[in-house]
Amino acid sequence: MAVRQRQHEQDPMIRRTNFDAVESNLTDEQAKIEASRCLNCKNPKCVDGCPVNINIPAFIKEIKEGNIEKAGEVIRESSLLPSVCGRVCPQERQCEGKCILGIKSEPIAIGALERYVGDATNIKIGEIKETGKKVAIVGSGCAGITAAADLRKAGHEVVVFEALHKLGGVLRYGIPPFRLPRTFLDKEIKNLKDMGVKFITNVVVGKSITIKQLEEDGFDAIVIGSGAGLPKMMGIAGENLNGVFSANEFLTRVNLMQANMEETPTPIRVGEKVAIIGGGNVAMDAARVAVRIGFKEVYIVYRRTETELPARLEEIRHAKEEGVIFKFLHAPKEIYNKDGYVAGMQFEIMELGEPDESGRRKPVSTGKTVDLDVDTVIVALGTGPNPTIQASMLRDNMKLETNPKGYIIIDAETGATSVDKVYAGGDVAPTGSSTAINAMGAGKRAAKAINEYLETI
Ligand code: FAD
Ligand code: SF4
């Protein structure tokens, strides 16, 4: 059997100086070879591993037979954004993690094949029969745009309200372009515009307009896909010093506002040494962006060990290759202050104890501490939902149920909230891990439920 095909990657020493895509696509020949490795299993485990159950063997078979358009159609029955998911899904924990070939050798490169097909093909827009019904969507991230596509296909007028001046949510302001080139995101958004989805930017729902007003304006249903953009901080001394950023702010400033460019109204102070606190994809992205904008020493500081790092394996490998230094079993204790600026950081040295409720061994303090010489700190410890919409609904006497952390409570099958005609999905109402594909799945489920509901009125 042929070996697993690999995409060409930019040399790490070169790519650490640019924002171009790290990897190119598989060539046509490589894609065919990779597709021919698939056993077309009768009971394909890979499909169970995919959160939206793409018919993986079927699209791989089409590649093998040279029917790329057909392969694209098969994928898009389940996923609107194959170019995105092929690049950002944690395949090793999803489809590829279940591939039978992985037991004895290497699994099929399902992600690489998915993006190969996604890049080469386009959504097919059939004839749309107008229903006269209209749906408002809050947020243009994965959940919002997926719901928008399926609702528009069903013939409803769809208006997406986005708080920022650009569309795409985390795919635009969070994930850096060297991981997700913007051409593909722009292509998908253009497709939606061509289908007739309307986008209104710079509108903060809950402030510029409320959910109640949207209802009064005649929207028959509303989908809240406002994500979870509120950063969690550490709660330690020194957190308010100059030079401390949340990863969200840091990435947004660079990805969306080009803060690293010379001529910018919102510049970022590039220091010498930066500690990024956390071990997920967001931490890896912040570290790799810090390398590219000129920090000389970039540390990822994580309180468990390498085995527990939650980031995608590929991002960890790429970060290491690009010179990011990992400090494991370090927990933040204090940020030192010199004239209002970060002047180093103190960490507690940890060791792993008993497993916690997540099943991972819990870090416990050894009582020892260590100092790290840094002038910048980026906190990547996760985010929570912004309470703006929830608070405005409360003021309008709309009883939206949320959990104690402020996430909207939904029916996992339909996305229905406790408020009539209001649905939610994605990071604002997680029903699994907060990933791009899960947000898309939620958008699809909400759209299906709304389409069914709108048929009844
Ligand atoms: P978002 O993408 O956050 O979109 C929400 C949108 O709503 C935003 O555009 C926001 O501006 C808008 N909005 C918010 N409030 C309002 C309001 N009041 N009015 C109007 N608009 C509003 N997942 C993976 O699967 N793989 C990865 O490698 C990966 N890497 C990541 C890296 C980073 C840096 C981050 C931050 C996340 C990453 N994720 C990754 C997670 C994944 O991107 C998210 O789970 C997913 O994009 C969530 O989609 P969403 O539609 O729920 O929210
Ligand atoms: Fe192909 Fe692996 Fe899926 Fe089997 S499990 S159908 S070999 S991708």
Q: Mutation test of ligand 2: which of 5, 45, 46 has the most ligand atoms closer than 8 Å to its C-beta? A: 46
170 CB less than 6 Å from ligand 1?
A: yes
Q: What is the pLDDT of residue 28?
A: 97
254 CB less than 6 Å from ligand 2?
A: no
101 CB less than 6 Å from ligand 2?
A: yes
Give the integer Cα–Cα distance in Å for 28 and 381.
Answer: 40
Do the beta carbons of residue 62 and residue 70 sit within 8 Å? yes
Pick from 11, 66, 9: which is nearest to 33 by CA?
Answer: 66
Pick from 105, 1, 110: which is nearest to 48 by CA?
Answer: 110
233 CB less than 6 Å from ligand 2?
A: no
Mean pLDDT of 377-401: 96
pLDDT at 259 over 80: no
Structure tokens at 199: 């986008």
Q: Among 111-125, 219-233, 248-262, 319-333, whose mean pLDDT is lowest?
A: 248-262
State pTM to two decimals: 0.94
For 405, residues 6+ apart whose C-beta sits below 8 A from its C-beta are 384, 385
Single-letter amino acid code for the residue at 353? G
Structure tokens at 137: 């969507």
Its CATH class, for the domain covering 231-383, is alpha beta
Q: Ligand 1 centroid vs 144 CA: distance in angstroms?
A: 10
CATH topology of domain 134-229+385-454: FAD/NAD(P)-binding domain (3.50.50)
Identify the band that residue 263 occupies on the pLDDT scale cut at 50, 70 and 90. Answer: confident
Q: Which residues lie across from 66 on neighbouring strands? A: none
Average pLDDT, the chain: 95
**Which 3 state secondary structure label does DSSP give 157?**
strand
Structure tokens at 423: 């649905």
Q: Are strands 297-301 and 325-327 parallel, antiparallel or unpaired?
A: parallel
Q: What is the pLDDT of residue 264?
A: 76
185 CB less than 6 Å from ligand 1?
A: no
Counting Cβ atoms within 10 Å, is residue 13 exposed (0-12), middle (13-18) or buried (19+)? exposed
Q: What is the pLDDT of residue 430?
A: 83
| Backbone angles phi and psi of 4, in degrees to 5 | -60, 130
CATH topology of domain 12-120: Fumarate Reductase Iron-sulfur Protein; Chain B, domain 2 (1.10.1060)
Q: Mutation test of ligand 2: which of 1, 40, 62 has the most ligand atoms closer than 8 Å to its C-beta? A: 40
Q: Mutation test of ligand 1: which of 93, 185, 281, 312 has the most ligand atoms closer than 8 Å to its C-beta? A: 281
Query: What is the sign, positive or negative, of the torsion defined by CA atoms of 257, 259, 265, 266?
Result: positive
Digit-coded pLDDT (tens) for 34-45? 999 999 999 999
Q: What is the pLDDT of residue 432?
A: 78
41 CB less than 6 Å from ligand 2?
A: yes
Q: Ligand 1 centroid vs 59 CA: distance in angstroms?
A: 27
Do the beta carbons of residue 99 and residue 60 sit within 8 Å? no
100 CB less than 6 Å from ligand 2?
A: yes
Pick from 457, 454, 455, 456: which is nearest to 222 by CA?
Answer: 454
Q: What is the pLDDT of residue 292?
A: 95
Percent of the chain with pLDDT over 90: 91
Mean pLDDT of 438-448: 96
pLDDT at 265 over 90: no
Radius of gyration (Cα) for the chain, nearest Å? 23
Matching CATH topology for 134-229+385-454 and 231-383? yes
Give the integer Cα–Cα distance in Å for 296 and 278.
Answer: 19
Do the beta carbons of residue 273 and residue 296 sit within 8 Å? yes
**Which 3 state secondary structure label does DSSP give 31?**
helix
Counting Cβ atoms within 10 Å, is residue 384 exposed (0-12), middle (13-18) or buried (19+)? middle
Identify the band that residue 145 occupies on the pLDDT scale cut at 50, 70 and 90. Answer: very high
111 CB less than 6 Å from ligand 2?
A: no
Ligand showing the shortest atom-to-Cα distance for residue 111 = 2
Q: Can you give the residue ranges of every domain in the chain?
A: 12-120, 134-229+385-454, 231-383
138 CB less than 6 Å from ligand 1?
A: yes
Strands (E), 58-216: 134-138, 157-161, 198-200
DSSP state of 261: S
Mean pLDDT of 389-408: 96
Q: What is the pLDDT of residue 420?
A: 97
45 CB less than 6 Å from ligand 2?
A: yes
Q: Mutation test of ligand 2: which of 1, 4, 37, 45 has the most ligand atoms closer than 8 Å to its C-beta? A: 45
Counting Cβ atoms within 10 Å, is residue 397 exposed (0-12), middle (13-18) or buried (19+)? exposed
Digit-coded pLDDT (tens) for 311-368? 999 999 999 999 999 999 999 999 999 999 999 999 999 999 998 887 888 999 999 9
